Structure 1
Amino acid sequence: MSLLLQISDTHFGTERPQVVAALLRLVDTLAPDLVVLSGDITQRARKHQFAAARAFVDTLGATPTLVVPGNHDIPLFNVFARIFRPYANHQRAFGNDLEPVFESPELLVLGVNTTRPWRHKDGEVSMQQIRRVAARLEMARETQLRVVITHQPVAVTRAKDERNLLHGRERAVTRWARAGADMILGGHIHLPYVLPLHDTFAGLPRRVWAVQAGTALSWRTRGTIDNSVNVIRHVADSGGARQTTVERWDYAETAGAFEMIARHELALDGAAPRVPVTQAG
């Protein structure tokens, strides 16, 4: 079995120390095969905030991490840096690759940088990014859980969140589904949920799931939802049969620890046919 821990919207600079400590205890207990940080790592993209985020990641020891930027990870008030060096502090902390990839026998996880320096909060996915991700998905093994990471959501549960939807999502979801994607992980709106994209987007050829995470560490929580992370468990047998579970773990104030409060068994389809699709859309 493989275990993926999704941590999103940590917003270092607004983190709660007791929640940081509780999350590190959870990591020690779960021993995940991969930790994903799906954007908004910092509050204002400042060096000391990225240094705190880097120190947190270093505390995870040898646990592999995959980090993609969010809109908060680009300078807001420093206009020169936003235009000419928007990712300098992020890359100083986490390396030059803004679209990292992780692969194991049971996991294929593809990061997509959906931030744009010329946008304030909105995210966007380009045709070049869509094609690159699709080409990699088409090479996946039958046993792998095929995961795409974007910061902004591709689907929402409430009308008032529609303004936060990822630009280009219709083409991306359709193309990635054809290429064999199983789930798209996101953050941005600090609201955890699991949605069947095959019920949201008409004509998808396979089951694809949107998995959204809340804010893992920040006091900038949403409504009655406390700090929250997702735990994804995946197992595959030699015949290609796959079983995947998404668990939502919230920080409990009284216990001072993360506790599982929801569990979703996801039905997955088999591997997509390995027939290259070159047309756009």
Structure 2
Amino acid sequence: MTPSSTFRIAHLSDLHCGGPYFEPNLLVRAISEINDLAPDVVVCTGDLTTLGFRHEYQTARDYLDRLACEHLVVVPGNHDSRNVGYVHFEELFGPRNSVLRNGDVAIVAVDSTEPDLDHGQIGRGRYPWIEQEFTAEPATLKIFVLHHHLLPVPGTGRERNVVYDAGDAIECLLRSGVHLVLSGHKHVPYAWRLENLFVVNTGTVSSLRLRGNTRPCYNLIEVSGSHVDIWRKHPFHGQEKIIQFSVDTFEYEKYTGRIEREVSSR
């Protein structure tokens, strides 16, 4: 990326097609807005379906086909791995683990799910592959994508769904020089900085299964040179900045509300 260009990534999650709380109009509005933004990459961090059935997958595929973006990165969520749903995922969306290199951005995406279980793990057998893919070619921004959380999310009640090997997985990502982790899962958006790793999850884009006062949303990542801005967007109902940081100095500014914000530097 040149200093004058902006690289955009739209990050949506937890569509939950086919369930009683799925709201198609929310997804249609989000897709329309994302197409207007013309991102370079769209990332979808799982729970495309509610029960992993083929007709739910087909509905999700039909909606995501409306995205005008050429590059789509998708991983399954725990709901997608129910009822042997990962078979339909592979048929309709491709491999459950993938790598995308677009310009100076490297994205490594993994399936963190376990069949018919809500919890997840990365798996120690995949650490060498993750490190290899992140170090194979130089990249200004390295992004790791999964469905589950690596860190507990405030406002989600009892936390049971952080990946089982979160500590070792985080150490693997730090060794790999990863800058940003994107995930979904609990329908509550949040952002952290852990050492030189920024962990940002988004809420649900089209489900009414909402905790507290959260609203359906997706995230927009804008990269200009070494500077990264991440916005939480409520389709056609405004946006708010979540966090901004530098991949060079790791200075960052985290926004905790419309006015209140938290400032820190390395």
Q: Establish whether TM, by shorter chain, passes 0.5.
A: yes
Q: Which residue of 2 aligns with 1:202?
A: none
Q: Which residue of 2 aligns with 1:55?
A: 62
Q: Which residue of 1 aligns with 2:98?
A: 100
CA distance in 2, matches of 1:142, 1:36: 18
SS at match of 2:92: helix
SS at match of 2:65: helix
CA distance in 2, matches of 1:258, 1:175: 38
SS at match of 1:52: helix
Gaps of 5+ in 2: 1-5, 250-266
Q: Which residue of 1 aligns with 2:130?
A: 133
Q: Which amino acid is 2:15 matched to?
A: T
Where do 1:9-158 residues align within 5 Å? Answer: 9-14=14-19, 15-76=22-83, 82=84, 86-95=85-94, 97-117=95-115, 120-143=117-140, 145-158=141-154
Q: Does 1:191 align with 2:188?
A: yes
Gaps of 5+ in 1: 77-81, 199-206, 237-241, 252-256, 271-281
Q: Does 1:208 align with 2:208?
A: no
Count of matched residue positions in the alignment of Structure 1 and Structure 2 = 242
CA distance in 2, matches of 1:260, 1:215: 15
CA distance in 1, matches of 2:137, 2:152: 27
Normalised to the residue count of structure 2, the TM-score between the two structures is 0.85
CA distance in 2, matches of 1:98, 1:157: 25
CA distance in 2, matches of 1:234, 1:140: 19
Q: Which of 206, 211, 217 is the aligned partner of 2:206?
A: 217
Distance verdict in 2 for CA 1:32–1:62, change over 3 Å: closer
CA distance in 1, matches of 2:229, 2:163: 25
How far apart are 1:161 and its partner, in Å? 4.5
CA distance in 1, matches of 2:214, 2:137: 35
Q: Percent identity at matched positions? A: 25
Structure (1/2) with the larger strand percentage: 2
Q: Which amino acid is 1:244 matched to?
A: V
Q: Which of 232, 250, 253 is the aligned partner of 2:234?
A: 250
Structure (1/2) with the larger helix percentage: 1
How far apart are 1:69 and its partner, in Å? 0.5
Q: Does 1:180 align with 2:177?
A: yes
Q: Which amino acid is 2:219 matched to?
A: N
CA distance in 2, matches of 1:22, 1:108: 28
Deviations along 1:120-156, whole A, 9 cap, x unmatched?
100011112122111111234242x100011110012
Distance verdict in 2 for CA 1:87–1:142, change over 3 Å: closer
Q: Which amino acid is 2:109 matched to?
A: G
SS at match of 2:57: helix
Q: Which residue of 2 aligns with 1:226?
A: 215
Distance verdict in 2 for CA 1:179–1:190, change over 3 Å: same
CA distance in 1, matches of 2:88, 2:139: 38
SS at match of 1:152: coil
How far apart are 1:222 and its partner, in Å? 2.0
SS at match of 2:8: strand
CA distance in 2, matches of 1:99, 1:260: 31
